[in-house]
């Protein structure tokens, strides 16, 4: 593992979907500019200059949201595994 390693991927898809594990580890850059997107970017820039505490809180919330997405995926996989390996009545499986 090298901390200098960077991988750039490009797609023609307008709105690509990636699993939560990938989203938590990557940065998605959308080069399509819309009026709403530009407004959001300018607002984020203004908030970061005027209220860095709010920008830090936003960053923390994004990290927390990504962690929750990963946890949900793990829980879903665990439930599916339990359902697939359950013997007898599924409702009586308390493992």
95 pLDDT tier (thresholds 50, 70, 90): low
Contact 28, 15 (CB under 8 A): no
And the tokens for 50?
């005027």
% of the chain beyond a pLDDT of 90 = 34
Over 90: is that where the pLDDT of 27 sits?
no
pLDDT digits (tens, 9 = 90+) for 60-87: 999 999 999 999 999 999 989 988 888 8
Can you say how many angstroms the Cα of residue 33 is from the centroid of all Cα atoms in its chain?
Answer: 21
Q: What span, in angstroms and rounded, lies between the C-alpha atoms of 77 and 75?
A: 5
């Amino acid at each position: 593992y090298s901390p200098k390693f960077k991988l750039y991927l490009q797609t023609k898809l307008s709105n690509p979907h990636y699993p939560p594990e990938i989203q938590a580890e990557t940065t998605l850059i959308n080069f399509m500019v819309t009026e709403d997107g530009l407004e959001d970017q300018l607002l984020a820039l203004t908030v970061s200059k005027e209220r860095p505490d709010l920008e830090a809180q936003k960053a923390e919330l994004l990290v927390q949201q990504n962690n929750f997405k990963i946890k949900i995926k793990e829980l879903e996989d665990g439930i599916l595994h339990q359902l697939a390996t359950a013997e007898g009545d599924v409702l009586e499986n308390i493992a």
